[in-house]
Amino acid sequence: MAQEFSGKVAIVTGGASGIGEAIARRLSAGGAKVVVADFNGDGASKVAGSLKDALAFELDVANAQAVQRLVARAADAFGGLHLAVNNAGIGGPGHATADYPIEDWRHVIDVNLHGVFYGMKYAIPAILASGGGAIVNMSSILGSVGWPGSIAYVAAKHALVGMTRTAALEYADKSLRINAVGPAFIDTPLLSGLDRATYDGLKALHPAGRLGTAEEVAALACFLLSDEASFITGSYHLVDGGYTAR
């Protein structure tokens, strides 16, 4: 059952597909006005066009000024901001730490870490001005465990959890809750290029015997955004089919 978001304005980055799209759709179904932001502007427009009271925004989250414009656009279009989901991210190439290209390190950190910081930096004042609300930052199971060949991604996702907890403490008494979600491997278009052996290998890593779905992650994210989670802040919640319980 969808949570109640009537009268709320939400931003979802990385909203053109996968987890971000599922979150945007669930928020809209609950009555929220949604700004679907994505580096893929056409994809964002397609998703926003299929929702009620939604608009698209082409966005590079690594550009602080662009994120600032996103927040201003949401507030100008819908009269405020109450909810933000910092979901946009990239995986980066696979290299051992000593071989990891500096340019790729910077790009992954810019998108996955700096982009979330910018999202909070500019969304927080707008949410406070609207009377409070909630933020969900999308981490990963790799916010708590390692993965060979992904030093930049793992570093960003670990740091994201620390940023979430710190910001949550700063605004806990100001009607603003901030939490992180850590999905395991989720069956989204990002995995569509995998061969069957690799796909089955990923499934086998999860005690549940399958990959997660975008809708399962969206269900948790939207619960954390809702008033039903009114006493939950500064937390990091896994959606991992038992992956990290081993």
Exactly one of 100, 118, 122, 153 is catalytic; name it. 153
Structure tokens at 123: 């969304």
**How many Å apart are CA 233 and CA 171, to the nearest integer?**
9
Which residue type does 14 have?
Answer: G
Give the three-class secondary structure for 202.
helix
What is the Cα gyration radius of the chain?
17
Which residue bears the tokens 């759709």? 25
**How many Å apart are CA 185 and CA 201, to the nearest integer?**
11
**How many Å apart are CA 130 and CA 84, to the nearest integer?**
13
Name residues whose C-beta falls within 8 Å of residue 86's C-beta, 6 or more positions apart in sequence.
13, 61, 115, 116, 119, 120, 135, 136, 137, 138
Q: Are 72 and 123 in contact (CB under 8 A)?
A: no
Q: Are 221 and 238 in contact (CB under 8 A)?
A: no
Give the three-class secondary structure for 165.
helix
**How many Å apart are CA 41 and CA 56, to the nearest integer?**
7
**How many Å apart are CA 102 and CA 3, to the nearest integer?**
43
Q: Indicate if 199 belongs to the active site.
A: no
Kindly list the catalytic residues.
153
